[in-house]
């Protein structure tokens, strides 16, 4: 039963990470350079930029981030490694560092990116100037997560397969 739990949690962890980080990377590739929105983009609901924004996925990847964090912590808890990893002890320190960076990413996504994105999309009423300001913050928040994902993936892999690097 424990093996089944770990396999399922690990599978959810990997699939969730692909959905979450994959969404972020897809945006980084399709929008390699920052292209600011204009007031016309936001004031006309039928403008191409507005329609593109509304058609983009906004929910699945956010919830995938919680699945990734939750399943990762559950695996460590089941093994009795959670406290050691979070306190950066011994051979679990690389993994623990990756976890803390991932926690920053999840907080950035839910507490910085999403509240501002809701204003950009018009889910929360705001004047056009405010929506344009929020669009810039949303972009920067996503790029910070792109940057942080690189060490997170490194330390996740190093935690599982690269102990020799840090011993």
Partner 1 sequence: MSDLLLRVFDSSVVTVALGVALTAALALLLRLLM
Residues that bind partner 1 (CB under 8 A): 28-29, 31-34, 93-94, 97, 139-140, 143-144, 146-151, 154-155, 158, 165-167
- Other beta carbons within 10 angstroms of residue 66's beta carbon come to 14
Of the candidates 75, 55, 65, 54, the one whose C-alpha atom is nearest the C-alpha of residue 11 is 75
Element (H, E) at 75: helix 60-79
CB of 36 to partner 1, least distance (A): 10
Query: Of the two residues 38 and 43, which places its CB atom closer to partner 1 in the complex?
Result: 38
Determine the Cα–Cα distance for residues 53 and 47; give it in Å rounded to an integer.
Answer: 10
User: Given the complex with partner 1, which of 37 and 74 has the nearer CB atom?
Assistant: 37
CB 154 to partner 1: min, Å:
5
Which of residues 112 and 140 has its CB atom nearest to partner 1 in the complex? Answer: 140
If one counts every other C-beta atom within 10 angstroms of the C-beta of residue 142, the result is 19
CB of 1 to partner 1, least distance (A): 35
């Amino acid at each position: 039963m424990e093996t089944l739990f770990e396999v399922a949690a690990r599978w959810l962890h990997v699939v969730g990470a692909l959905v979450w980080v994959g969404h972020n990377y897809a945006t980084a590739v399709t929008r390699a350079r920052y292209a600011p929105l204009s007031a016309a983009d936001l004031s006309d609901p039928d403008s191409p930029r507005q329609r593109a924004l509304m058609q983009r996925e906004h929910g699945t990847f956010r919830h995938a981030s919680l699945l990734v964090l939750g399943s990762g912590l559950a695996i460590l808890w089941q093994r009795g490694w959670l406290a050691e990893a979070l306190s950066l002890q011994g051979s679990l320190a690389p993994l623990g560092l990756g976890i803390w960076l991932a926690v920053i990413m999840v907080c950035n996504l839910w507490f910085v990116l999403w509240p501002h994105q809701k204003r950009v999309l018009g889910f929360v009423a705001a004047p056009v100037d405010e929506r344009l300001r929020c669009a810039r913050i949303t972009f920067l928040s996503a790029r910070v997560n792109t940057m942080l994902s690189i060490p997170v993936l490194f330390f996740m892999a190093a935690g599982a397969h690269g102990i020799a690097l840090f011993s």
